[in-house]
Amino acid sequence: MRSINNELQLKAEAAKAAVRFMAHLSSKIKNRALENIATELLVKSSDLLAANKLDYSAAEESGMNTALLDRLLLTQERLESIAGDVMAVTTLPDPIGEIIETRTLPNGLLIQKKRVPLGVIGAIYESRPNVTVDISSLCLKAGNAVILRGGKESIHSNKALANLVCEAAARAGLPDGAVEFIENTDRSIVNQMLGMGNYIDLIVPRGGASLIKFVKENAVMPVVAGGIGVCHTYVDKDADLDKAVAIAFNAKVQRPTVCNALDSLLVHKDIADTYLPKIAAELVKVGVELHCDAISLSILELTPELKPLPAEDDDWGKEFLSLVIAIKVVASLDEALEHISRYGSGHSEAIVTEDNDTANRFLKEVDASCVYANASTRFTDGSQFGLGAELGISTQKMHARGPIGLKEITSYKWIIFGSGQIRP
């Protein structure tokens, strides 16, 4: 037994107690809670920005890098966008109570599979304070209680946001314990949460690879783990090269620090001579570093200003999260499939081709949560997919795969209506 901090124990008990009520809340009350949250984000924006400034200044002083600072930052515009996301969740259908299946057996038993909340969801996240609101609003809408444990770096922002969420939810009539925020930022708290299988039904880690690994290895309850995206785009010999340039450029550059960004570009040998200089020129223009296999290197070295570098062995299967791309020339679709099967992380993979048979084989054979033909992997996202929002992106095969929206944070129960049936 891990010994449990008193704050954590009390909050977990409160969350568990809330769950029995949460399961039966009307959509109206749940939506009202979300509307309150969205409104308050704007009403209290100056307080929130002031709290965020404390975090930001401390982080700046401690020498945090620009990418992390950017994740930490709240602005008026970002608050408005967060509020907009919360309002978007109010417009989604309430999944709870849905009758998923109905069957009547020959013996007269009426069996229904009915959607119910999962229970208590524990969220462990790092520096992005918007996660406090995003996860809370999804969890509440699906009738789940949530225990939030954000990173030390964003403690003032998270505390201010969590207080706002709690008050807004309570005002709508949600029970105490629906949203619990753990203020203690001691690292040992995370480990304690991971042992609380009697209180927490699901853990969602949101952060870097080391956090996710730690959570997976130490949690006694199910974990929705994902977020590690080693994403490939394969440019086929029958690709429209302009589309292929636009798609690969977008996937690599539009937001390089996130999981659905392009890491390795695979290019069919027949079009490598034409395609590689084109895409490389675009990438280099915005500062992307090219790590090339022998063949692509020999092609790109003909244009020295592209400064292609030889790829190291560990560039294959690496999630760069930065303006670095690995490039490899392959002899065939089969070689591309083989490479992706070996090095992919099961997140998002794309092919660019005008040949439907080739596209369909790729879509069929690649075993990943999201497989694209002729589009950027950057679309792997709950909002982009029309799910309204997401708790995270699962690269697991159990329970849910890809973006985790409202439906994915529910469970179901079987309800059986009888009239005295016994088993013969």
Q: Is 423 in the site for a copy of itself (CB under 8 A)?
A: yes
Contact call for residues 74 and 52 (beta carbons, < 8 A): yes
User: How far apart are alpha carbons 268 and 336 in whole angstroms?
Assistant: 8
- Shorter beta-carbon distance to a copy of itself: residue 36 or 376: 376
- Among 173, 271, 317, 412, interactor with a copy of itself by CB under 8 A: 412
Count the residues of the shown chain that bind a copy of itself, applying the rule CB under 8 A: 64
Q: Minimal distance in Å, beta carbon 305 to a copy of itself? A: 25
How distant is the alpha carbon of residue 155 from its chain centre? 21
**Of 329-368, which residues contact a copy of itself (CB under 8 A)?**
341, 359, 363-365, 367-368
Closer by beta carbon to a copy of itself, 140 or else 247 = 247
Is 91 a binding residue for a copy of itself by CB under 8 A? The answer is: no
Q: Rule CB under 8 A: is residue 159 a binding residue for a copy of itself? A: no
**119: region left, alpha or beta (phi > 0 left; psi from -120 to 50 alpha):** left
- Establish if 369 lies at the interface with a copy of itself (CB under 8 A): yes
For residue 346, the one-letter residue type is: G
d(CA 96, CA 115): 5
Residue 99 and residue 118: Cα distance in Å, rounded?
A: 16
Minimum separation from the CB atom of position 361 to a copy of itself (A): 10
- Using CB under 8 A as the criterion, what x/- string covers residues 194-233 for binding a copy of itself? -------xx--------------x--x-x-----------
- When asked if residue 23 is in the footprint of a copy of itself (CB under 8 A), the reply is yes
**Is residue 375 close enough to count as binding a copy of itself by CB under 8 A?**
yes
Q: Which amino acid is at 168?
A: A
How many whole angstroms separate alpha carbon 107 and alpha carbon 250?
A: 58
> Binding of a copy of itself at residue 191 (CB under 8 A)?
no
Closest to a copy of itself by CB, 57 vs 384, is: 384
Question: Of these, 148, 215, 378, 391, which contacts a copy of itself (CB under 8 A)?
Answer: 378
Among 105, 286, 294, 331, binds a copy of itself (CB under 8 A): 105
- Torsion, CA 413, CA 414, CA 420, CA 424, rounded to 10: -130
Place of tokens 């020339």: 329
Please pick, from the candidates 87, 228, 246, 281, the single residue that binds a copy of itself as defined by CB under 8 A.
246
State the DSSP string of 287-322.
Answer: TPEEEE-HHHHHHHTTSGGG--EEPPGGGTT----S
Residue 48, classed as helix, strand or coil, is helix
Which 253-272 residues touch a copy of itself, going by CB under 8 A? 254
Per CB under 8 A, the list member of 91, 103, 210, 304 interacting with a copy of itself is: 103
Name the residue nearer to a copy of itself (CB basis): 201 or 236.
Answer: 201
Q: How far is the CB of 64 from a copy of itself (least distance, A)?
A: 27
The DSSP code for 256 is T
Would you count residue 317 as binding a copy of itself (CB under 8 A)? no
Q: Which of 250, 264, 353, 358 binds a copy of itself (CB under 8 A)?
A: 250
Q: Which of residues 109-148 bind a copy of itself (CB under 8 A)?
A: 109, 111, 116, 118-119
Contacts of 208 (CB under 8 A, 6+ apart): 126
Locate the DSSP E strands across 92-177.
Answer: 99-104, 110-117, 120-125, 145-149
Q: In whole angstroms, what is the distance from residue 36 CA to residue 83 CA?
A: 10
Helices (H), 23-129: 27-43, 45-61, 66-72, 76-91
Q: Are strands 393-394 and 402-403 parallel, antiparallel or unpaired?
A: antiparallel
Q: Which of 73, 200, 401, 404 binds a copy of itself (CB under 8 A)?
A: 401
DSSP string computed for 211-222: HHHHHHHH-SS-
Give me the residues that bind a copy of itself (CB under 8 A), please: 20, 23-24, 103, 105, 109, 111, 116, 118-119, 201-202, 217, 220, 222, 240, 243, 246-247, 249-251, 254, 341, 359, 363-365, 367-376, 378-380, 384-386, 396-399, 401-403, 411-423
